[in-house]
Structure 1
Amino acid sequence: MIRTLVTASALALTVAGSAATAETDLTSMTDAERAAFRDEVRAYLLDNPEIIMEAVNVLEQRQAAEAVNTDRSLVETHQTAIFEDGFSWVGGNPDGDITLVEFLDYRCGYCRKASAEVEQLIESDGNIRFIVKEFPILGEESVISSRFALAVRAVAGDDAYKEAHDALITYKGSYAEPALRRLAEGLGVDADAVIAGMSDPAINEILQANRELANSLQISGTPTFVMDDTMLRGYVPLAQMQAIADDIRTQ
């Protein structure tokens, strides 16, 4: 915030002095004239402090626009890896006119908060293709969760993966092997095969590919969403996500 205020203050100084500099060559001023001019600008800002906040708003709008453009460029560059990697689980409407991708960590509080709203969006909209990118970043238990989900999918298929996904997003138990066995059994899948499959090199490759993609997209937190060409960093309420989808469809 301090850096923003400093930058905005410089912008405000430029705005405040623009009229004067239009007719004044600062480089031709004497030191005394330059000091006097600076005093006048300072006095103006002290008399009109609201111009600082106006400059902050302008600066933040510019930075937000630049961030959106940067994110769209990143998505365009990596669109195949984002939308068609060949290994990520695909749900919702596979033929939907909008694709929503979520980078998630099962132990992330905001991922858990977003889960029900993402589910509601997909069900109520009916025309959204949904892709999950396993991106465990909150420690070893997060990695175990993703390995478990991916092993369930390898053993029992996509429907079982969705059940595992839904169970893990609310799970608060132990991540020790006996607890994972009970979780697998509760899902109706072969617990021995799932536990053995968690160390499969193919799962290492999936998690590594997701980490590399996230790094390329400058993603460092979860949840992060990609909706067509729009990157949404962090939790986004249901109404806002639906509004973004509606806006995409009108473009």
Structure 2
Amino acid sequence: MLRLLASTALAAALALPAHALDLTQMSDAEREAFRTEIRDYLLDNPQVIMEAVALLEQRQQEAQAQADVDLVKSNADALFADDHSWVGGNPEGDVTVVEFLDYTCGYCRHAFPELTELVEGDGNIRLIIKEFPIRGEEAVLASRFAIATLQTEGEDAYKNVHDALITFEGDYSEAALTRLATSLDLDADAIIAHMASDEVSDVIDANYALGREMDISGTPTFVMGDQMVRGYVPLEAMQQIVAAERQD
């Protein structure tokens, strides 16, 4: 009898819109039978649970993606038009890629050759680097060195230093950075002296503030057009994202 009541209740529930299902209108016996029927159904059809979980994850991902699009739009000036970040690739490119990076981050290092291939192979991508040292004192030291190079020696010198830092083997120390600058024919003394300046600190502080606004807590994080990519993605996936941006 209870199973019949539950079956009837379940059939009726499925026939009604979601807002019309009101368990408070059932008797205690009907409510208990309804719960039992649902439990039995799920035990007999466990794949339903997995389908529901997959649907929930999909909806959460879609919600996160939309939230990220909104973050990109609301922070567009700081992302794409600040006056302190290095800009490479094609300055007139039709798609802009922004990378938040930490030189001590293994995934940033892993992404470096693939990002380089993406930009150079495409030829129409504008690349912006956001120094975002979040992994300790050595990371901060390396970013200060890179920013100081940009501010004292210019864009070409920064590119050479950036490439050297992201592939550097060993500890980042003032002595090591001095040797690196010298090997690149840069004014090591001027760069080292400038590293502790307010101008360098202001860039890092601005990038930290932007990271907080964008809810960025890890590196690498990419902004590709109006999409955010949190974490490492292989070259093929980056190429697909860029292609999709061009279609929008």
TM-score by length of 1: 0.91
**Aligned residue in 1 for 2:206:** 209
- State the secondary structure of the residue aligned to 2:138: helix
Deviations 1:204-224 (A, max 9, x none): 000000000010000000000
* Structure 1 Cα separation of the partners of residues 82 and 10 of structure 2: 52
**Aligned residue in 2 for 1:8:** none
**Residue 96 of structure 2: which of 93, 99, 105 is its match?**
99
**Residue 191 of structure 2: which of 190, 194, 201 is its match?**
194
Instruction: Note if contact 2:131-2:143 (Cα within 8 Å) is conserved in structure 1.
Output: yes
**Residue 111 of structure 2: which of 110, 114, 121 is its match?**
114
* Structure 2 Cα separation of the partners of residues 19 and 231 of structure 1: 44
* Structure 2 Cα separation of the partners of residues 98 and 132 of structure 1: 14
Offset of residue 177 of structure 1: 2.0
Could you say what the CA RMSD is over the residues aligned between the two structures, in angstroms? 1.3
**Aligned residue in 2 for 1:131:** 128
Offset of residue 62 of structure 1: 0.6
* Structure 2 Cα separation of the partners of residues 224 and 76 of structure 1: 16
What is the identity, as a one-letter code, of the residue corresponding to 1:232? V
Deviations 1:227-246 (A, max 9, x none): 11000000011011111111
Deviations 1:26-74 (A, max 9, x none): 2122222211110010000000000001101111111111011100000
- Structure 2 alignment gaps of length 5 or more: 1-8
* Structure 2 Cα separation of the partners of residues 189 and 210 of structure 1: 25
* Structure 2 Cα separation of the partners of residues 145 and 177 of structure 1: 9
What is the identity, as a one-letter code, of the residue corresponding to 1:44? Y
Identity of aligned residues (%): 57
Shifted more, 27-36 versus 58-67: the winner is: 27-36
CA separation of 1:193 and 1:60: change in aligned 2, threshold 3 A: same
Q: How many residues align?
A: 235
**Aligned residue in 2 for 1:74:** 71
* Structure 1 Cα separation of the partners of residues 22 and 174 of structure 2: 75
Larger Rg: 2
